[in-house]
Structure 1
Amino acid sequence: MTLNKSTSLAFIALAVSFCIGCSSKEDRDKYDHYYGSGSKVREETALVKLQNDRKTPPPPPVEPAATAPAPAAVDSGKAGDSAAVAAAPEAAAAPVVPKRKPVPADVSALLNKHACFACHQAYDKVIGPAYSEVAKKKYTPDQIVELVHSPKPEHWPGYPPMAPLAHVPKADIVVIANWINSL
């Protein structure tokens, strides 16, 4: 009698696992792309690109500005005017480099504790958006808490969906959120 019951339950369990395991190839591919081996390739590609971007320094902005005023100086024929013309474009052409604030020690400890740095950096895109990009969205700390606990991928098209981090305490997220909004 017990054998018949356990056999029936085994068949039911097998049928349920078969039904659950049979999803479409498209669904399996999508899952694999975001969470399986596809995510590993995407992560490695993003890290290699980030490392290459850091290795190649941006071209110095002074060279294009220095060559541009030369024709104007020749055309004017006045030595005093050419010095003023040459100085003005260089000052105007100087690129505005965004000020990068260092990550405070308490925030850095929280970001490391909850593994946030695995996907996000303060100013650079890794897998997820940079915190400076998140700051541009002007989320309130409560909105950031909600988005960490239950992410909305539609807010960040082009990025892989973030896993829900319901285990992260609200107080920790509020500290991080206040720092993000200060960027």
Structure 2
Amino acid sequence: MTLKKSTSLALVALAVSFCIGCSSKEDREKYDYYYGSGSKSREEAALVTLQNERRNQPEPVRAPATTSPAASGTETGKTGDSTSAAGSSGSATGAAAAGTASAGAAPAANAAPKRKPIPADVSALLNKHACLACHQAYDKVIGPAYAEVAKRKYTADQIVELVHAPKPEHWPGYPPMAPFPQVPKAEIVVIANWINSL
């Protein structure tokens, strides 16, 4: 008798698990798109797009290190010997060189914002929780760059909520982030404060 009851209960449990597992075709397609084989193709496409964007960006112009033209002109003027005329023409040449150096430095400053290094404690937390697999400080990978997140002006508490229960509608065009409820709030706050400092 016990065997018949346990067999029937096992069959019922098997039928229920089968019904739960077989959701609608649309749900299965969505799951496959975001987490199954579709996610691999989207990740590969995103990486190819990122590599193409990096190739198409112009190289930043770096100004050569030069000595201060004012310092070289004052030193030659103070000597008082017959090379003062050459010193003044040299300072004119130095001023022209400084003009081209500052002209070259201005586009470089406008081309790319200064990138701050990731502090060691934040880097340790990002590695511990595998955040860097999808996010980088300044570059788009799978998810948005942390600098882009900083532009949204989320509070630390909002970032904690978004890590524990992501809202894909906040970031259309990106694959939805998986929830990370296991990450302690205190550690997310450390990461969130760094994000907001970018």
Specify the TM-score bucket, using the shorter chain as the normaliser.
Answer: 0.7 to 0.9
TM-score norm. by structure 2 comes to 0.72
Aligned counterparts of 2:115 and 2:46: Cα–Cα separation in 1: 21
Paired residue for 2:140? 125
Matched AA of 2:197 = S
Aligned counterparts of 1:53 and 1:154: Cα–Cα separation in 2: 25
Rg larger for: 2
Paired residue for 2:39? 39
* 1:123-144 deviation per Cα after TM superposition (whole angstroms, max 9, x unaligned): 1111111100100010111111
Deviation (angstroms), 1:57 = 5.5
Matched AA of 1:3 = L
2:181 to 155, 166, 176: 166
Number of positions where the alignment pairs a residue of Structure 1 with one of Structure 2: 158
Q: 1:14 to 1:61 in 2, by over 3 A?
A: closer
Matched AA of 2:178 = A
Aligned counterparts of 1:61 and 1:145: Cα–Cα separation in 2: 36
Q: Secondary structure at the match of 2:111?
A: coil
Q: Secondary structure at the match of 1:42?
A: helix
Paired residue for 1:144? 159
Deviation (angstroms), 1:18 = 2.1
Match runs of 1:78-97 below 5 Å: 94=107, 95-97=110-112
Matched AA of 1:169 = P
Q: Secondary structure at the match of 1:23?
A: coil
Paired residue for 1:80? none
Matched AA of 1:114 = H
Aligned counterparts of 1:120 and 1:38: Cα–Cα separation in 2: 20
Paired residue for 2:70? none
Matched AA of 1:12 = V
- Aligned-pair identity in percent equals 81
CA RMSD of aligned residues (A): 2.5
Deviation (angstroms), 1:48 = 3.0
* 1:147-172 deviation per Cα after TM superposition (whole angstroms, max 9, x unaligned): 11111111111111111111111111
Aligned counterparts of 2:128 and 2:60: Cα–Cα separation in 1: 39
Paired residue for 1:58? 57
Runs of 5+ consecutive residues of structure 2 not aligned to the other structure = 62-99
Query: Are 2:60 and 2:112, in contact at CA under 8 Å, matched by a contact in 1?
Result: no
Matched AA of 1:100 = R
Paired residue for 2:80? none
TM-score norm. by structure 1 comes to 0.77
Runs of 5+ consecutive residues of structure 1 not aligned to the other structure = 63-86
